[in-house]
Every structure is written in structure tokens, then in C-alpha cells.
Chains A and B, each alone.
Chain A
Amino acid sequence: MRLPSSKQPARWAALVNRVSGVLLSLFLPVHFWAMGQALEGAARLDAFLAWTQQPAVHAAEVGLVVLLAAHFTGGLRLLALEALDWSAIGPWHKDLIAVAAGASLGVGLLFALNVF
């Protein structure tokens, strides 16, 4: 796989969408397992939540939130591209990518400010 050049934002956006999708898919079973701890009682869930209070875990959580936000905004951009006329959206395409990237990082920052 060849990385896109800096002048190919649409290819970067597609790559980010795919990589974030794969990483989120790998995380999902772990997330479901973690929330499933509640089945074994509140004490078990609390023990797991105590483990998550480490700074490294919080940093990983920030990364996951950025990935989720990036896949969300990138996905909305793709849905818009497919649903709308290219003549209407084409001139704004690079702006949409920039807004999606900025919004994803903004959501990550908001989460980081709340979790640390």
C-alpha cells in the first residue's frame, strides 16, 4: 500500500476512514466485553473502571474518541458525496475534508479536557 502525497487530501481522507474503521472494529469486542462486566455485579464493573483510571488508558481512550469522531465525520462526508450532486459539492470537497478533520480533533480535545 502506497501512502498518498500531501496534495491528495481525498486519498488521505479515504485512508483515515479505512484505518479508523479497522481499528474501531478490533476495539468493539473488547468494549463489549468490558461493559459485559456489569453482568457480574457492580463491584466487578467498578474494579475494571478503577483499572481504566491510569493516564495511559485515558490517552488510549482519547485516541479511540478521535478515531470514532474521524470515522463519523468521514462517513457523513461520504454519504453526502454519494447523495448529493457533484456539481454542488465538488467545489467544497476539500473544505469538507478539512472540517471533518478539525471536528474530529476538536471532539478528541473536548474528551481529553473532560477525562484528565
Chain B
Amino acid sequence: MNGAHPPVDGAGAAMDEARACLSRTRMQARLWLAQRLSAAVLALCVLVHLGTIIYAVRQGLSAEEILGRTRGNLTGFGFYLMFVAAVSIHAPIGLRAVFSEWFSWRGKSLDWALLAFALVLAVAGTRAAWGVFR
């Protein structure tokens, strides 16, 4: 094909730009989907969490009361691990949209910063869930 139709000047660069644009669009679509799926999981988790904290604070919080409810509770541990995973996905994607819109912060520096934030949430959240389970 190239022999019959010599490349037009700049066609390669235009193709590269089109590919980069497609790649960015695909990434946006994946992030949108991840944001919505994590939101659906969080809707359930937040409902349970709100109910639990309103009930738990009635008699005043104590380590004995909290740990009595959580120590060795595998269902609770699994629930909080799911909660932490969903929020570690949801929060950084939401912040990405807000930072680009409010502060015009975009590009790789924002993506790396939010990836680091996602890791902090995942590690600190798992540590907290383990702390009250073990």
C-alpha cells in the first residue's frame, strides 16, 4: 500500500496523536466504569456502616465494645476488606475529576499522585480492618 500511495507529510504524527487520543478515551471509559461499579458496592457498604455507627455510639464507644463486635468476626472482616477495596478505587478517581476541573491539574503527575493515594488507602484500610479483627 505504501508503495502505491506514498505517506502524506505528517500522516504518521497524526496517526500517533489519534492513537493516543483513543487510548485516553479508553482509559476515561474504564475509570468511569470503575467509579460507577465501586459506587454501587459503596452504596451497600455505607448503608451498613451508617447503621452500625449510629447503633454503636448509643452507649458510648469503648475498645471492649468495638473489639467484642469485630474480633474473630470473619464476615465483618470480609465486609470491611470489600469496603476498603471499593473506597480505594472510588476516592482517587473522584479526586482525579475534581483536581482536573478545579485546579487544572492533569497528566502523569496527577495519575501518579492518585495512584500513591489509592495505595495509602488500601494499605492503611487493610491494616485497620486487620487491627480490629485479629
Contact = CB atoms under 8 A, between A and B. Distances in A.
B57 to A, nearest CB: 5
Given A25-B94, A49-B61, A75 B128 contact: no
B87 A72 contact: no
Interface residues of A, number: 39
A45 B66 contact: yes
A32 B121 contact: yes
B47 interface: yes
Interface string A72-104: 100110110010000000000000000000000
Q: Tell which of B53, B63, B132 has the most Cβ of chain A within 10 Å.
A: B63
A111 B127 contact: no
B58 A25 contact: no
Interface of B: 36, 39-40, 42-43, 46-47, 49-50, 53-54, 57-58, 60-64, 66-67, 87, 91-92, 94-95, 98, 102, 117, 120-121, 124-125, 127-132, 134
Interface of A: 1, 18, 21-22, 24-25, 28-29, 31-39, 42-43, 45-46, 49, 52-53, 65, 68-69, 71-72, 75-76, 78-79, 82, 107, 110-111, 114-115
